[in-house]
Amino acid sequence: MPLPFKRADRVAGLIQEELSRLLRREVKDPRLQEVVITAVELSADLRHARVLFTGSGRQGGVDDILAGLRSAAGFLRGQLGRTLRLRYAPELVFEADDSVERSLHVAALLKQVLPREDETDDE
């Protein structure tokens, strides 16, 4: 029997979609042009949201993107409350998602440890 999703999980998915839409269409800050929302983790009471993002580090890097997201947080929170018709719009806390860098690092370590196919002894 499949496990039922919690309400917080469903709302987190809606928040992720809406934040992506708002960043793409509504926010005019040039620092946020290429930001991708990778995940939203929502507390059980729906009042706190941890928003993970990635973005191109072209101009000012992750710190510049984080500053742009923090400055737009009030606008984004208000829009989420109106669009999703939530009783309480969650407080947004933004964090850079470093999972891609970590996975590349693990892959590089595995490549060093594991022998390549042409180096194995097939006898």
pLDDT averages per 10-residue partition of the chain, 123 residues: 74 94 92 90 93 77 90 94 89 88 83 70 52
**The token pair that represents 8 in the structure block:** 């917080």
42 close to 15: Cβ distance less than 8 angstroms? yes
- The pLDDT of residue 17 is 96
Domains of the chain: 7-98 (3.30.300.20)
- The pLDDT of residue 40 is 95
- The pLDDT of residue 113 is 83
| Lookup result for tokens 């390549």 | 116
Listing DSSP states for 79-93 in one string gives: HHHHHHT-SSPPEEE
Question: Coil, helix or strand for 11?
Answer: helix
- The pLDDT of residue 4 is 65
Cα–Cα dist 39/49, whole Å: 10
Cα–Cα dist 67/64, whole Å: 5
Cα angle 58, 63, 65 (rounded to 5 degrees) comes to 65
